Amino acid sequence: MKVLATGTTGQVVTCLTEIAVRLGDVELITIGRPEFDLINPVPLREAIVAASPDVVVSAAAYTAVDRAEDEPARARAVNVAGAACVAEAAARLGVPLIHLSTDYVFSGDDPGPRKENDQTRPRTLYGASKLDGEKAVASITPRHVILRTSWVYSPFGTNFVRTILRLAKSREILSVVSDQHGNPTSALDLAAAILEIARSRKGDAFGVYHLAGTGGTNWSDFARHILAVSHLNGGPFATIRGIASADYPTRARRPQDSRLCTDKFEGIFGWCLPPWQDSTKLVVRRLLDPDLRLQSVARRPAAGGE
């Protein structure tokens, strides 16, 4: 089957390319900058229609959480108008759209995990733009699977795992916030899930779903796990000092607890993503030894798990 994904160098799109090669029966087309920019999405929409895929994956987005506070118009243009144009292409083709969204649509003021219908109230401009993007997508095509995921990391691009490993090379102690809770998600797992959904052709599965790594944590414990694995494998190490968000001022105020409940996804699809610790280990080991091509698509069965 032919799957088209937006973006060229993003974490998820890069992992989609890797997993598609591994699967063998998916032709993955990626489309994005510099030829096609979501800021000017009509040519992108027309190119998607011309490519005539069986499924469209909307993986490109404005993801710079702090910068979005200073350029809201650009963030909204990409995440709302751009996402809408991608949805229009899928609607014109009459094919399913898998659209990625975020835990940052929630304020996180109350304890999680959060279900799909829980009240959304983004704290950040990034989160608000992604929420409006979801609404636009849903209004344009009923054949949408909106996947809200969180804390995405991978061997590629910009992410927390790579940042922590880089900082640990030059510092003995790192201060990391311990009062923000969420679910780290490997983009390799997510890409495998997206292609599994694309191939499953479940006719009644459209809607909004939460899909993230199994198990919750906070950023400082996530960092501790990253560096423990790194240390065991001869990589950089630093001591993590847990701090309060108030002691790590950022332009955007992140949710306090944006853990996602994945029961709905598990109920419909019958599986979920691996425990975040296992997937983090695979990605850290791959980053330390780029020749490693570790198995990263293992899944837990839905029943009988923890």
Ligand X SMILES: NC(=O)C1=CN([C@@H]2O[C@H](COP(=O)(O)OP(=O)(O)OC[C@H]3O[C@@H](n4cnc5c(N)ncnc54)[C@H](OP(=O)(O)O)[C@@H]3O)[C@@H](O)[C@H]2O)C=CC1
Ligand Y SMILES: Cc1cn([C@H]2C[C@H](O)[C@@H](COP(=O)(O)OP(=O)(O)O[C@H]3O[C@@H](C)C(=O)[C@@H](O)[C@H]3O)O2)c(=O)[nH]c1=O
Residues acting as catalytic residues: 126
* Nearest to 127, CA basis, from 82, 64, 176: 64
Site map 21..40 versus ligand X, x via CB under 6 A? -----------xx---xxx-
Residue from 18, 103, 189, 266 binding ligand Y (CB under 6 A): 103
Q: Which is nearer to ligand X, 178 or 258 (CB)?
A: 258
Neighbours of 243 (CB within 10 A): 16
Residue 163 interacts, among ligand X, ligand Y, none and using kind-specific CB cut-offs from 5 to 8 Å, with ligand Y
Asked whether 90 and 96 are in contact (CB, 8 A), the reply is yes
| Pairing mode, strands 239-243 and 217-218 | unpaired
Structure tokens at 260: 């996602």
Q: Would you count residue 222 as binding ligand Y (CB under 6 A)?
A: no
Distance CA 144, CA 57 (A): 10
Helix/strand/coil for 101: strand
Strand 181-182 and strand 207-210: pairing? unpaired
Q: Does 78 bind ligand Y (CB under 6 A)?
A: no
Q: Using CB distances below 5 to 8 A depending on partner kind, what does residue 177 bind out of ligand Y, ligand X, none? A: ligand Y
User: Quick check: 100 binds ligand X (CB under 6 A)?
Assistant: yes
The residue among 60 and 174 lying less far from ligand X, judged by its C-beta, is: 60
Instruction: Answer with the entry of ligand Y, ligand X, none that 296 interacts with (C-beta below 5 to 8 A by kind).
Output: none
| Residue 163 binds ligand Y, judged by CB under 6 A | yes
Q: Which amino acid is at 156?
A: F
Residue 177 is a binding residue for ligand Y (CB under 6 A) = yes
- 203 within 8 A of 95, measured Cβ to Cβ: no
| Interacting residues toward ligand X by CB under 6 A | 7-13, 32-33, 37-39, 59-63, 78, 100, 102, 130, 149-152, 157
